[in-house]
């Protein structure tokens, strides 16, 4: 009986330890693993390149790329690199982007458009992974130029990083159309040139000509 009680206590302790493990804030997704060869004087050197995308589904996203002699080493290096490059992006109440944007990185061009609630995530390739990990549920996207997963992912992250969170209304409570019109108005105000006052010399010359005619 004493032995059975001791075994049950030990099992309970093990289960408690397993349950106490903290959950990771960021989700890690392995986008691609590719074998890379480098030609040297001694011959060809084989290595592996890993691409990792991480996101907390609360507006934070990052990408990491690294090489290693083994797949596990490359993945570990890439995740470590991704945690250094975390980017915060804005998300509206409709779980979409504030306004339309297009960004180009090398040959890749990515276009992101806001959508109303219920539209869903309309994206493909690596752009879908980036947007889902950042927690965009209603958004439209278009990939142009290339099918390279790495370049498309970088272009999508750079496009999201272009948004300035502080410039938008608190918690982005406006609809996508209202946000776009609001952005146009602010852009027009910022680009308006100050009114130039006409010099008084022109008026004086006109008055002088009229006096001469009289």
CATH number at residue 156: 3.30.230.10
Neighbours of 58 (CB within 10 A): 12
Give the domain range for residue 84: 24-88
Domain-embedded: residue 169: yes
Residues 97 and 166 occupy one common structural domain: yes
Percent composition of the chain: helix, strand, coil (DSSP 3-state, to 5): 40, 25, 30
Provide the pLDDT for residue 35. Answer: 94
Residues 172 and 103 occupy one common structural domain: yes
**Long-range contacts, stretch 23-27, CB < 8 angstroms, 24+ apart:** 25/56, 26/54, 26/55, 26/56, 26/60, 26/62, 26/83, 27/54, 27/55, 27/56, 27/57, 27/133
Residues 28 and 103 occupy one common structural domain: no
Task: Return the beta strands (E) in 2-42 as ranges.
Answer: 27-40
Mean pLDDT by 10 residues, the chain (214 residues): 54 52 83 93 92 94 95 96 94 90 95 92 94 94 94 95 64 51 61 50 55 54
**Long-range contacts, stretch 115-123, CB < 8 angstroms, 24+ apart:** 115/139, 115/140, 115/176, 116/175, 116/176
Provide the pLDDT for residue 6. Answer: 53
Residues 167 and 102 occupy one common structural domain: yes
Residues 66 and 111 occupy one common structural domain: no
**CATH code assigned at 31:** 3.30.160.20
DSSP classification of residue 96: S
Domain-embedded: residue 3: no
Give the chain's domain count. 2
Residues 122 and 47 occupy one common structural domain: no
Residues 155 and 95 occupy one common structural domain: yes
Provide the pLDDT for residue 149. Answer: 95
Provide the pLDDT for residue 204. Answer: 54
Residues 30 and 77 occupy one common structural domain: yes
Residues 83 and 102 occupy one common structural domain: no
Residues 111 and 178 occupy one common structural domain: yes
Cα 111 from chain centroid (whole Å)? 12
Provide the pLDDT for residue 84. Answer: 95
Residues 59 and 131 occupy one common structural domain: no
Provide the pLDDT for residue 41. Answer: 87
Residues 77 and 98 occupy one common structural domain: no
Provide the pLDDT for residue 210. Answer: 62
Domain-embedded: residue 210: no
Domain-embedded: residue 63: yes
């Amino acid at each position: 009986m004493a032995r059975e009680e001791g075994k049950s206590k030990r099992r309970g302790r093990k289960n408690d330890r397993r349950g106490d493990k903290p959950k990771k804030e960021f989700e890690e997704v392995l986008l691609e693993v590719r074998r890379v060869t480098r030609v040297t004087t001694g011959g060809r050197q084989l290595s592996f390149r890993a691409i990792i995308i991480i996101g907390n589904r609360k507006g934070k996203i990052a990408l990491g790329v690294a090489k290693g002699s083994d797949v596990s080493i490359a993945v570990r290096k890439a995740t470590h690199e991704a945690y250094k490059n975390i980017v915060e992006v804005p998300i509206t109440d409709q779980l979409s982007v504030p306004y339309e944007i297009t960004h180009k990185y090398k040959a890749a061009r990515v276009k992101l458009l806001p959508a109303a609630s219920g539209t869903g995530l309309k994206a493909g390739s690596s752009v879908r992974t980036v947007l889902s990990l950042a927690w965009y549920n209603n958004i439209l996207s278009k990939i142009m130029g290339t099918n390279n997963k790495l370049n498309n992912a970088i272009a999508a992250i750079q496009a999201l990083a272009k948004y300035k969170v502080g410039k938008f209304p608190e918690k982005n409570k406006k609809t996508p159309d209202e946000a776009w019109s609001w952005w146009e108005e602010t852009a027009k105000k910022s680009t308006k040139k100050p009114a130039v006052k006409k010099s008084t010399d022109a008026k004086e010359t006109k008055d002088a000509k009229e006096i001469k005619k009289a």
